[in-house]
Chains A and B, each alone.
Chain A
Amino acid sequence: MQAITAEKIFVKGNEAVAMAAIEAGCRCYFGYPITPQSDIPEYLSRELPAVGGEFIQAESEIGAINMVLGASATGVRVMTSSSGPGISLKQEGISYMAGSELPGVIVDIMRAGPGLGGIDASQADYFQATRGGGHGGYRIIVLAPASVQEMYDLTMLAFDLSDLYRMPAMVLADSVIGQMKESVTPNPRPQTLLPPKEWVVRGRLAGEPQNVVKSLYLGDGEMEAFHWKMHARYQELADRECRWEEVQTADAELIVTAFGSTSRIAKTAIAMAREAGMKVGLIRPVTLFPFPKKAYAQLSERCKLFLAIELSTGQMIDDVRLSVARDADVAFYGRPPGAGSLPTPEELFEQIKKNYRASA
């Protein structure tokens, strides 16, 4: 079938998120300004009214995420975006959304922390994103774009997965991917078959069932049953929705693993290594939750050496170690976030050389 081709556009990662949201049918956005993601509310404040949508600059990130909750409960596609300090504030609402089985997209353009930290790129909120972030032992879908094209495509995917599995979905990027501009094909919204939202609050006629969107479960066994139900749903996600990219892994003696911005830097480092005759490949998780464990397990049956690279002191590496075969080694190279800490391809090439050992 002939794909619908659109003319390429040259936009920032953050703008691509906002454009994709509108294409995905998002008609409500509630947010609060914070660097380095303010291009998203700025774009949507301009463009949402033109498509009959609603934009509110909320009083706080807490206000914003609860507006997301309220709008989502009525069945519309809704989004918010923020960065570190703001995402922390949103955790209350995200937990309630998870508890109420509400879809909704949260974009996190990570910046350095803890506290006010800085505006430089960071991957140190991996745990916060993939472990739920708020109280109550829930998970959310986490997608990690590595290009502006993926900022566009994965934002649309986030809306679909969020609706399909009735849980919040996060697009997790950083200021490199958010602020950089790339040529992008603005793909049309995927034609995903979605279940009808029979659970929405809508006001109702006599005889119709009462719909209540809530997270309070007081009856004997109710809360426990909810947890097992969600556990099964997370399992279903793991079975069906894992996405990852592999580059030159077939003959690799060392497989670099990184997500988002660092995977981009690593790709050029790997090209340098290949030029130097070293057999190096890459595995990049696209879904961080569910984490593509099976892909790692499979690769590690043959390749016994991995090198995890992150803009932190090491978080994703925990998931890598839990996924690879027991006799596989996982080395680590991290640059915790902050001004001047973004690694270069040359620097990562040095790390590859340091860890590489060709089999006899």
Chain B
Amino acid sequence: MKQVFNRPESLKDVSTHFCPGCHHGSVHRLVAEALDEFGIRSETIGVASVGCSVFLYGYFDIDVIEAPHGRAPAVATGAKRARPDRIVFTYQGDGDLAAIGMSEIIHAANRGEDITVIFVNNTTYGMTGGQMAPTTLPGQKTSTTPYGRDISKDGSPFKMAELLSNLDGVGFSARVALNSPKNVMQAKKMIKTAFRYQVEKKGFSFIEALAACPTNWGMNPMDANQRVADEMIPYFPLGVYRNTANL
């Protein structure tokens, strides 16, 4: 019988702790597939962040460094500078990357570090219980914005893929989503391109993945997927924002 679906080699044969309908599992899989397809699993170092993605090393069958909250791009910088022959990627959430770690991501990108950053934007702090994230949408209720995000006080959501695309050090910056089969296929292509940038030493690459967090949004997985389509994508348009090597 022909096998049409298999677990990527870069993922362990374990079940994740992610909630039903969470998109982290899908992003994990797409990253693992990219590592498999380039045949770089054995030379890859992952950098885990703080948040739901901290357990990266439990799911990816690769060597991993766990970084302090927000500091993954600095940790990855150190690892890559020390071992330029390795593939180094960070995997970060929105609170980690765009709040406490804004300085580290901007500067790593601006230096054009030869790393790949996978940024999962679900508009909330997942692990700590659904507080306001730097990407929380205007009016969105969270456990620390019980009346909805008030942009006059909290500022507007950061559009990281666009923001980073303005930096000369960035090779590739794109935003993808995982709410539909079509978007997942597109995401797979983009994530692969991001790693291709590093494999071919074309510079810093950045993927922003819009993701659902049904638990903290108080929704079922289907409604959460619908929210990605109805609320997130209009605010955070999908697409490639920078692609200096035209890969």
Contacts and interface: CB of A to CB of B under 8 A. Distances in A.
A touches B in complex, CB < 8 A:
yes
Interface of A: 27-28, 30, 54, 56, 58-60, 62-64, 66-76, 78, 92-93, 96, 100, 201-206, 210-216
19 contacts: A28-B78, A54-B82, A66-B104, A67-B75, A69-B65, A69-B68, A70-B67, A70-B75, A70-B80, A71-B81, A71-B82, A73-B75, A74-B79, A100-B65, A100-B66, A201-B64, A204-B63, A213-B66, A215-B66
A201 B79 contact: yes
A212 B75 CA distance: 14
A64 B108 CA distance: 11
Interface of B: 40-45, 47-48, 54, 57, 61-68, 71, 74-83, 86-87, 103-104, 106-107, 111
A70 B80 CA distance: 8
A211 B43 CA distance: 12
B65 A78 contact: no
Contacts of B74: 58-59, 62-64, 66-67, 69-70
A59 B70 CA distance: 14
B61 to A, nearest CB: 6
Nearest to A203: B43
Given A63-B107, A78-B82, A70 B54 contact: no
Given A69-B75, A70-B47, A212-B57, A54 B65 contact: no
Contacts, number: 135
Contacts of B104: 59, 62-63, 66
Contacts of A215: 66
Nearest to B87: A203
Contacts of A56: 77, 81, 111
B42 A71 contact: no
B78 A72 contact: yes
Contact of A28 (B48, B65, B67, B81): B81
A23 B152 CA distance: 55
Per CB-CB distance, the 8 closest pairs between chain A and chain B, nearest first, are A70-B78, A67-B78, A66-B74, A70-B75, A71-B78, A214-B66, A59-B107, A201-B63
A204 B42 contact: yes
A135 to B, nearest CB: 11
A206 B107 CA distance: 34
A204 B46 CA distance: 12
A92 B82 CA distance: 21
Given A58-B107, A216-B54, A210 B63 contact: yes
Nearest to B69: A92
A73 B79 contact: yes
A62 B57 contact: no
A217 B64 CA distance: 15
B86 A60 contact: no
Nearest to B46: A201
Nearest to A30: B78
Given A28-B78, A74-B83, A216-B66, A203 B61 contact: no
Contact of B71 (A30, A66, A71): A66
